[in-house]
Amino acid sequence: MATWQMLMLQDSASPLMEQLNFFHDHALLILVIITVLVGQLMSILFFNKFKHRYLLEGQMIEIIWTILPAITLIFIALPSLRLIYVLDEVNNPSLSIKTIGHQWYWSYEYSDFKNIEFDSYMIPPNELQPYQFRLLDVDNRVIIPYEAQIRMLDTSADVIHSWTIPSFGVKIDATPGRLNQIGFSTNRTGLFFGQCSEICGANHSFMPIVIESISPNYFIKWISKTEI
């Protein structure tokens, strides 16, 4: 989860977020190289004698400053396109969960099981326990098994919401009348926090998301207890 004075991205908890972190570092390295190069060229101008101030054209330098940016864009575009394809891919999910955005809470349905559906409200500050997080914890968490492919189906009952878990690299719009989907998996157990990322009304800031990733054995036990 995000903490005070955090400047970088959250630690990844899914293969998708790991790839996003790698692409972030890759693009940042290219930007640093460009910044250093442009800064060096600008500093040279202060010591330039302007010997070629009457030069009207330079075919070679024009070819160079056209080809180099094109090559740079290719090095950014290729991994970006690959990453977009991976983010949109949903293959053979082990578990499907439907989430419905409301003003201002989330509803969840485990489509693969009977009678497993619940609403998830933010816990009011006056009801928080010492181990819970203010404005982030909910009364009913979404339980998923780790290292399993999850398909999240997303829609809304009223206005546009956005279901977001930063440490998973997941952000999907919940649009009224439409059903969006996204796939993800977690590579470790733990609690993962998110919030609605689309301004949806007065209480937009008070509809958090909490994912609890547990082992498959404990998940089966939770399913057995919940279905009863």
16-37 per-position pLDDT tens digit:
888 888 898 899 999 999 999 9
Task: Based on the fold, state whether residues 103 and 212 are members of the same structural domain.
Answer: yes
From 9, 22, 19, select the one nearest 167 (Cα to Cα). 9
- Structural domain span for residue 115: 95-225
Please indicate, yes or no, whether residues 101 and 210 belong to a single structural domain of this protein. yes
- The answer, yes or no, to whether residue 98 has pLDDT greater than 90, is yes
CA distance 124 to 206: 9
Final residue before a domain boundary, out of 53, 88, 123: 88
Q: Which helix (H) or strand (E) holds 96?
A: strand 95-102
pTM over 0.85: no
DSSP 138: B
Q: Specify whether 77 is located in the same domain as 99.
A: no
Q: Is the distance from CB of 90 to CB of 182 less than 8 angstroms?
A: yes
Of 29, 57, 88, which residue constitutes the final position of a domain?
88
Domain total for the chain?
2
pLDDT for res 102: 93
Report the candidate in 210, 168, 201, 212 with the shortest Cα–Cα distance to residue 102. 201
CB atoms within 10 A of CB 208: 20
Last residue of a domain, one of 32, 53, 88: 88
User: 213 and 117: one domain?
Assistant: yes
Tell me what the pLDDT averaged over the chain comes to.
Answer: 87
Q: Is residue 204 part of a domain?
A: yes
